[in-house]
Chain A
Amino acid sequence: MAKLSLNQRAALLSVILLVVTILIWEAAIPAQQAVGELTEYERLTGGGAPRAGVPAPSQVIVKAWEELSNPFYDAGPNDKGIGIQIGYSLYRVLTGYLLAALVAIPLGFLIGMSQVAFKALNPFIQVLRPISPLAWMPLALFIIQDSEASAIFVIFICSIWPMLINTAFGVAGVRQDWVNVARTHELGHLRTAFTVILPAAAPTIVTGMRISIGIAWLVIVAAEMLVGGTGIGYYVWNEWNNLDLTSVVFSILMIGIVGMLLDCAFGVVQRAVAYVE
């Protein structure tokens, strides 16, 4: 045992925790009583009907296997595979997020470079930033008149702030020495921005992008519950209306896994742009 490395011990502990949790969960769900054991009275009052309850992990695993073995089936508006639903959510998140990046990063550059722009825009940022993105939904639905685009707008508005603030912060914090190196080498403004300021601020900018994608993924579930139609958020809400809690638990797990993968992707980018002073 003492020979195991730190990582091995941590992995072992993780597996033990997982198994113990699942066993406790499984044991805590009372088994459905067989219909034969019911009294006549219970049968008459509906005791024999399948009862909605929190599913046992074994049921969730069966459900997951079923869903994941055919993730892209499409049997009408209310019955689509999990892959299709997640695909819709990712499409909305990435569209809103990329639009936000296109606005936030150049604007953040400007704010970071210019004290005047920073002071002028700061009050607006401070007021707009704490607004829950879902609060924009009614206004977005009214103005855009399209639920799909409104969901994308909500993602846009929630992911813009961390990127904007981090870009401005990163750009403003670039060491004057490095800017001086660019100046003594007669680099123009554009070349200084791309060859010195951007790489110097990149770790801070990517951190902002990573926070943004996390928030966007949190918000899309709620946004899709509101706008409906497609997407993982809609799927959760639809299964709740169907009282299919097994599917609800399964989709909750899927939301977590996709969120983790998005975060990992940005973790890779973060490592690529990191530098040691």
Chain B
Amino acid sequence: MSKPFLSVENLTQIYPDGQGGDLTVFEDATFGVEKGEFVVILGHSGCGKSTIMNILAGLAEPSSGVVKMDGFEVSGPSLDRGVVFQNYSLLPWLSTLKNVTFGVAARHPEWSRQQVIDHSKNYLAMVGLEGDVIHRKPSQLSGGMRQRVSIARAFANHPKLLLLDEPFGALDALTRGTIQDELLKIWGGTEQTVFMITHDIDEAILLADRILLMSNGPFARVAESVEITIPRPRNRTDIVEHANYYAIRNHLVHFLGQRSKEISGKAKGSATNRPETVRIDRTGPAADGPGDAPRRLRAVIT
């Protein structure tokens, strides 16, 4: 099988522990992401999720290992990899619209001013920001609206890979639900490849094609790759009715609650560093026909 679109190979991160020694956060993380796939990574704090995200974004350097996108090694940040940060990272002295045009103008320096503004307004409208709101400063917006701006800024640039670093972590549950729906809607219209960090299991199931599970740090590793065998388009109220939902959810809860601790530190045992692919499907072969089969589902082997 050919190389996946994004391939992460033997990524290891070692920090000095402050007492003269070294602390290995994660070791030999190896996985792939296909084009158009929505992959979510789940794990406890301290397992190095954010570090992996920063390495993918090019904002940090791994101690060893490589990241290849489209066959090229990633080094340094690039417009091809858009990032939505947990704390929104909007520039507070610019208006909402200017925060988006800032990105669009950087992506398309050859565009006219009007083109940049129109394009930005389109994407702001897609996340429900229209009218006077777009001329307000980020400090005059609610947390949910700020994250919408941040998402619009990222999508407006059509990056080859979109990185979401706990984008809904700072939002209340109701707002989070609304914006998750908006994210699904805006993502559904594109073939955008997304890599996302979250702490929220239900959010992960709702959004992801595949969930990567990390064991606890230090010496964390990407232990499992769980396919979400629930067909799209998904809807937060309907997916809980799906036969696979609780089976998958229970598997994830069990992993995070218990096994992530048990297998932590025992990395070198297996012959391969690749995550074990887990596919849970309770719908049976009859229901898994061509019409019902999840469109975006595929096994990924690096």
Contacts and interface: CB of A to CB of B under 8 A. Distances in A.
- Chain B binding site: helix, strand, loop or mixed by DSSP? loop
Interface stretch (A83-91, A116-124, A173-181, A237-245): A173-181
7 contacts: A183-B58, A183-B77, A184-B57, A184-B81, A184-B82, A185-B102, A273-B93
A228 interface: no
A178 B79 contact: no
Interface of A: 177-178, 180-181, 183-187, 195-196, 199-200, 202, 273, 275-277
A277 B57 contact: no
Contacts of A276: 92, 137, 139
Residue among A178, A180, A185 with most chain B CB within 10 A: A185
Given A186-B106, A275-B92, A275-B93, A180 B59 contact: yes
A275 B79 contact: no
A181 B87 CA distance: 12
A183 B94 CA distance: 17
A277 B85 contact: no
Contacts of B93: 199-200, 202, 273, 275
B106 A178 contact: no
B213 interface: no
A88 to B, nearest CB: 38
Contact of B59 (A183, A273, A277): A183
Interface in B33-70: 57-59
Contact of B91 (A178, A183, A202): A178
Contacts of A273: 93
B89 A186 contact: no
B155 to A, nearest CB: 14
Interface in B92-111: 92-94, 102-103, 106-107
A186 B92 contact: no
B115 interface: no
A184 B59 contact: yes
Contacts of B87: 177
On chain B, which size bracket covers the interface?
20 to 34
A187 B139 contact: no
Contact of A177 (B76, B85, B139): B85
B78 interface: yes
A272 B103 CA distance: 24
Contacts of A178: 89, 91
Contacts of A184: 57-59, 77-79, 81-83
B85 A186 contact: no
Which 9 residue pairs of A and B lie closest in terms of their CB atoms, listed nearest first?
A276-B139, A275-B93, A185-B106, A183-B77, A177-B89, A275-B92, A184-B77, A199-B93, A184-B83
A35 B107 CA distance: 88
Contacts of A202: 93
A195 B102 CA distance: 9
Given A180-B59, A184-B77, A277 B83 contact: no
A105 to B, nearest CB: 18
Contacts of A277: 92, 139
A16 to B, nearest CB: 39
B78 A186 contact: yes
Nearest to B59: A180
Nearest to A186: B79
Contacts of B58: 183-184
A172 to B, nearest CB: 18
Contacts of B83: 180, 184
Nearest to B93: A275
A196 B106 CA distance: 13
Contacts of B102: 185, 195
A178 to B, nearest CB: 6
A187 B81 CA distance: 14
A184 to B, nearest CB: 5
Contacts of A275: 92-93, 137, 139
Nearest to B86: A177
A196 B77 contact: no
A274 to B, nearest CB: 9
A277 B79 CA distance: 25
Contacts of B76: 183
Residue among B57, B76, B91 with most chain A CB within 10 A: B91
A196 B91 contact: yes
B91 to A, nearest CB: 6
Residue among A181, A183, A195, A277 with most chain B CB within 10 A: A181
A246 to B, nearest CB: 49
B57 to A, nearest CB: 6
A39 B91 CA distance: 81
B124 to A, nearest CB: 17
Residue among A186, A187, A196, A200 with most chain B CB within 10 A: A186
Contact of B89 (A181, A187, A195, A199): A181
Contacts of B85: 177, 180-181
A185 B102 CA distance: 9
Given A177-B89, A185-B103, A186-B79, 11 more contacts: A177-B85, A178-B89, A180-B85, A181-B85, A183-B58, A183-B59, A199-B91, A273-B93, A275-B92, A275-B93, A275-B139
